[in-house]
């Protein structure tokens, strides 16, 4: 029985780092086996959709895109592990989980066809797929895909990950060619010859970032240690939480992605800036401001651009103060508003709303564009009051 669902995946550059393995070239411990595991052959199959980055059934391109191609025997299959796990509560109160399965294998390389991997001991590879987190089906990546089985021989096509691991993705990543006990089948031997010839005449469809496996004998010579250390740092940045607001985590990686390199002393201020932006977005959403029609937004942007061109006060204009604090130009700010950058658009619309409210409360005429210093000061005060009102919901680490 087969089921189908859609999880579009582009098999291209390093897809995902699935393990963190040490730099020392030894076999890491596995996730272990469950002796009460369900019979895999009794489970239905759910195929995810896949978009290939090379011409289908073109062996030269397939090998050209891969980092390592090798003949190996599967000696052990471990329990799957899961990423992107989401828990959903149903109407009847029951809870179910969804996640992307990956299955680890221990294999012994018999022949390297592309790249070099250790042949004098076991190595570990990770298959994109496995038993679902609910244990009700097997999730595979595209029609024709399958899970490797212990005791069988396969031609593996693997992508080296930045953490040094080896990832198998899609139907062509593990092609059965025989068994450890009986050797290659006749068809398997013929296919192995085809792979040997294709590897000698590989075609690289396009350039991509390459990584080196921990199990490559030339790991150190190829800069693998620096590669893995850089990935470890990226992982540490992703896992380093600097602050939280309403359950939303601000990580060091988020700051680096948005602001690039920065000094250590700036970290707290940058985290606070991101949180203030989120508070503004939440407030604008609650007020229904983000649903404003594009025609109205364009009219407001035009008026604001005229006001800024005519010389708004750099000391009181909320837009100029925001731009100064974010180190962006007013033109970039207005462009972000127009192109729906959430933070800039929320700030822009809140400024207009606070100005309109102040004018109504004090019997002043509200108009688009430049505002008197009195109104600008009131808008800035309203923004500060908004941030202060949510201060208790922010936790810094």
Q: Are strands 138-141 and 45-48 parallel, antiparallel or unpaired?
A: parallel
For the ranges 20-24, 258-262, 318-322, the lowest mean pLDDT is seen at 20-24
Where do the domains of the chain lie, and which CATH numbers do they carry? 2-229 (2.40.50.120), 240-396 (no CATH)
Mean per-residue pLDDT of the chain:
84
Is residue 34 predicted with pLDDT exceeding 60?
Answer: no
The mean pLDDT of 98-110, rounded to a whole number, is 92
pTM: 0.57
Is residue 1 predicted with pLDDT exceeding 80?
Answer: no
To 5 degrees, how large is the angle CA 390–CA 395–CA 397?
155
pLDDT, tens only, 184-219: 999 999 999 999 999 999 999 888 889 999 999 998
CA distance 99 to 208: 28
Measured between alpha carbons, how far is residue 261 from residues 135, 228, 254, 276 in Å?
A: 43, 20, 11, 20
> How many helices and strands (H and E) does the chain possess?
10, 17
pLDDT, tens only, 35-89: 345 677 778 888 776 555 555 678 999 999 999 999 999 999 998 888 877 777 6
Convert 40-76 into a string of H (helix), E (strand) and C (coil): HHHCCEEEECCEECCCCCCHHHHHHHCCEEEEEEEEE
Is residue 28 predicted with pLDDT exceeding 80?
Answer: no
For the ranges 36-40, 82-86, 138-142, 284-288, the lowest mean pLDDT is seen at 36-40
- Dihedral of CA 390/253/50/126: which sign? negative
Q: What is the pLDDT of residue 56?
A: 61
Q: What is the pLDDT of residue 166?
A: 95
């Amino acid at each position: 029985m087969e089921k189908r669902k859609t999880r579009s995946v582009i098999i291209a550059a390093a897809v995902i780092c699935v393990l963190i393995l040490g730099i020392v070239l030894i076999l890491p411990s596995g996730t272990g086996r469950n002796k009460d595991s369900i019979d895999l052959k009794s489970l239905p199959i759910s195929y995810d959709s896949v978009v290939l980055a090379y011409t289908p059934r073109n062996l030269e391109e397939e090998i050209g895109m891969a980092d390592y191609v090798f003949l190996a025997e599967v000696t052990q299959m471990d329990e799957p592990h899961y990423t992107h796990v989401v828990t959903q509560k149903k109407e009847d109160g029951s809870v179910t989980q969804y996640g992307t399965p990956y299955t680890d294998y221990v294999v012994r390389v018999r022949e390297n066809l592309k790249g070099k991997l250790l042949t004098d001991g076991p190595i570990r590879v990770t298959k994109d797929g496995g038993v679902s987190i609910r244990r009700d089906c097997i999730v595979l990546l595209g029609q024709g895909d399958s899970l490797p089985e212990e005791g069988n021989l396969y031609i593996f096509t693997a992508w080296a990950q930045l953490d040094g691991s080896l990832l198998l993705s899609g139907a062509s990543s593990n092609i059965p060619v025989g068994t450890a006990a009986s050797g290659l089948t006749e068809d398997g031997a013929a296919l192995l010859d085809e792979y040997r010839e294709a590897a000698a005449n590989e075609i690289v469809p396009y350039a991509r970032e390459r990584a080196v496996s921990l199990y490559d004998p030339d790991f150190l010579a190829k800069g693998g240690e620096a590669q893995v250390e850089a990935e470890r740092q990226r992982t540490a940045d992703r896992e380093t939480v600097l602050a939280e607001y309403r359950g939303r985590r601000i990580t060091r990686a988020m700051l680096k992605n948005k602001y690039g390199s920065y000094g250590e002393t700036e970290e707290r201020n940058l985290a606070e800036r991101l949180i203030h932006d989120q508070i503004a977005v939440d407030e604008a959403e609650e007020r229904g401001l983000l649903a404003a029609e594009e025609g109205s937004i364009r009219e407001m942007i035009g008026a604001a651009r005229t006001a800024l061109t005519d010389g708004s006060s750099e000391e009181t204009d909320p837009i100029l103060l925001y731009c100064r604090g974010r180190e962006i130009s007013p033109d970039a700010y207005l462009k972000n508003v127009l192109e729906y950058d959430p933070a800039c658009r929320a700030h822009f619309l809140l400024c207009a709303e606070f100005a309109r409210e102040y004018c109504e409360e004090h019997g002043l005429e509200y108009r688009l564009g430049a505002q008197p210093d009195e109104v600008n000061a009131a808008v800035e005060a309203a923004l500060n009051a908004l941030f202060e009102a949510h201060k208790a919901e922010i936790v810094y680490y």
